[in-house]
Structures are given as C-alpha cells and as structure tokens.
Amino acid sequence: MNTKTVIIVLATLLLSGCAVQTEAPLKVGAILPMSGPTAVWGENLKNGMELAREELAVQGVNIDIIYEDSQAKPDVALTAYRKLKELDGVNMVFSAFSRVSVPLVSVADNDKMPIMMTVVAAKGVAEKSPYSFRFYSNERQYVEPQFAWMNSSVYNRVAVLWINDEFGSSVHDVILEQAQLHKMSVVADENYDPNSVDFRTQLTKIKVANPKAILFVGSVPVEISNALKQVRELGITADFIENSAALAQPASLQAAGSAAEGAITLAFPFSLGRSGGEFRQAYKQRFSTEPNFAAAFGYDMVKLIGLASDGHTMSGEELAQRIVAVKTFESLNGPVAIQPSGEINPAIEPAKVMNGSLVALF
C-alpha cells in the first residue's frame, strides 16, 4: 500500500469516526407547568424524565430534553412551543395539562410535529392528529370506574363540583351521561376556576340540595385539599368521590390531612404501590422526596421514545409511525397498548383514603 493510499484510508476512517461521534441525538422539547400551583406536576414530570434520560444514555441511547415552563397557561405554552420548534429545532414535544395541550395539538399537527401528552384527560386529544399521543387516562376512565361500584339506590342524588377548563368540562359531560344511565339525579351542578381555594359558595348550594355524594373534578393539591376541608367545615355529610386523580398523590393527601379520611379517588397501580418499586427507590434517593404518579409518566414517556427512536433524529412522520409500531410497552403502571389512534391508557381504579393512605376499593 503506497503512501497516498494510506492517507486516503486514514482520512476516510477519521471522517467516519467523526460522523459517528457528532451524530445529533433526538431532541425533545418538554412544555411542563414548573411554576405556580401546578408546579407539583411539572417538577415530578421533569425529574422522572431526567432519570429515564440518564438510564438511556448509559445504554448508548442519547436524547436531549429542553424544558420550558408553561405555567399551565395556553398562551405561555404556545410561545414555548414556537421557541422549541424555531430556535431549538426539536424533533418532538412533550406536554402536560389539558388546558395547555389542547391548543398545542392543532399547531403541532400543522407542523407535523409529534406531541405526547400526559396528565391530560380532555376528550379526543389523541384522535385529532396522526402526530398526537396521549400517555394517560382519558375522560371516560376518570368516570366509569366510579359509577361501576356506586349503587343507584344509595347514591340516588348526587352533586357535581368541577374545574372549568378543557379537562373538567370533558369529565363533567361523562359524569352527566353516566348519572342519567344509572338513574341518579344530579341535584347540584357547580364549577370553579382553576387554582381556586374557596369553594364555600358552591358548597353551600350543594348542601342545600342535600346530595348523597359530591362528585369532584380537580387538578392540583390546593383545589382538592381546600374543597375537602370546606366540606367538613360546612358539615356536609355526603360522600366525597373524586372523578380525577388529584387526591392520589402525596402532596394532596398531606395538604388535606384528616379531611381526606374516607374520601374516594382514582389511583394508578404506581400510586397504590403495586408497581415501579425500583423507580420509586431511585427517585427518592436522587431527589430526597416521594414521587407522585406524574413522575412515573414522565419516566415512561422518555423510555418509550428511546425505544421507538433509538435516540436517532428522524422526520415527525417516521417518529410517529415508530411509536405506534412499538404496539405494547411495559410501563411503571404495567403493560400498556399503543393504539393506532395514539391513545396509551394505563389502568386506573377506585381507591379510598384510610388512615392517611390509599387503599384499593376492591
């Protein structure tokens, strides 16, 4: 081999090596509520995502995650999305909260940008675009498991107190449908603005209506804990049944204290301690606090994207197709199916607060 040939071979190897080393990893933008009352969700999501990202990196699957604070506000989230797309050049987006995610779906669809949503139960969000995925419970899963055990002869009169946003209205509509189906009279129907702390006006009306149960739809600890305390303060004896999972997290239970005793909520297997033990231990060791279920969803979303992409950049169309092609995924809440519609819905079930802890109802 002459000198010229050696130089060419070495140059080729060098260039090939450089190409491998400088290959850009998949870039993901995470639009999360990281300030204000909703920060409890954003913080847990981010922590879970970081644990998954680090695990994947050890396996040689590199994913960059760029975090933006949505403040749980649609306009702020849209600004964050534009920044992530135009300046950061992300390949896909994660988002949380219905009021934030619903407006993002149409924008992401127009850009052919895959978007994966969690802590989002608004109706039909995954079906609106071939690029949208919901890794969470849908609005029917927040309602039907409760009505499955509620006896209409006992709960013949119910009241509804729900958060007035995309999530709350979606769940509220299913509650009214199920109440009619089960021949239960809705004797009071009250709503409240997000992050409310005073429910006395609504609860006073509900007390006058004398329901057997209050069906509550909330999203953050301050809502559920204050509602529970004020129910007790007003001497309302109706059973408190949550058609959301806000109470099924440590911060809510701690904030509500004894007022939560006997309340019925919905809980994922992770919240009931049935799964995700190693992740929980790693989370507590790293962040010195107990994770809520959002942390598990943050972890699972990153792991799923790592599995689908192997950390490689690709078009939005290809990435969306690869996610669907995974078909089944072993999440921290057990195995889940990835439906062609983009729905990824882990099981959720009724649980009761007993001695300050969650206990499965069945």
* 10-residue averages of pLDDT along the chain (362 residues): 42 44 83 94 97 97 98 97 98 96 97 98 95 97 97 97 96 98 98 96 98 96 96 98 94 95 97 96 97 97 98 96 98 97 97 96 91
CA 314/CA 207 separation, integer angstroms: 56
CATH topology of domain 144-271+349-360: Rossmann fold (3.40.50)
Question: Tokens 């403040």 sit at which residue?
Answer: 71
- Three-state SS string over the chain comes to CCHHHHHHHHHHHHHHHHHHHCCCEEEEEEEECCCCCCHHHHHHHHHHHHHHHHHHHHCCCCEEEEEEECCCCHHHHHHHHHHHHHCCCCCEEEEECHHHHHHHHHHHHHHCCCEEEECCCCCCCHHHCCCEEEECCCCCCCCHHHHHHCCCCCCCEEEEEEECCHHHHHHHHHHHHHHHHCCCEEEEEEEECCCCCCCHHHHHHHHHHCCCEEEEECCCHHHHHHHHHHHHHCCCCCEEEECCCCCCCHHHHHHHHHHHCCCEEEECCCCCCCCCHHHHHHHHHHHCCCCCHHHHHHHHHHHHHHHHHCCECCCHHHHHHHHHHHCEEEEECEEEECCCCCEECCCCEEEEEECCEEEECC
Question: Could you tell me which CATH class the domain 24-138+274-344 is placed in?
Answer: alpha beta
Domain locations in the chain as residue ranges:
24-138+274-344, 144-271+349-360
CA 49/CA 304 separation, integer angstroms: 11
pLDDT of residue 22: 52
Residue 20's Cβ-count burial label (10 Å; 0-12, 13-18, 19+) is exposed
pLDDT of residue 10: 41
CB 120 within 8 A of CB 167: yes
User: What's the one-letter identity of residue 77?
Assistant: A
pLDDT of residue 24: 86
Tokens of 321: 């197709």
CA 207/CA 157 separation, integer angstroms: 12
- Whole-prediction pTM: 0.91
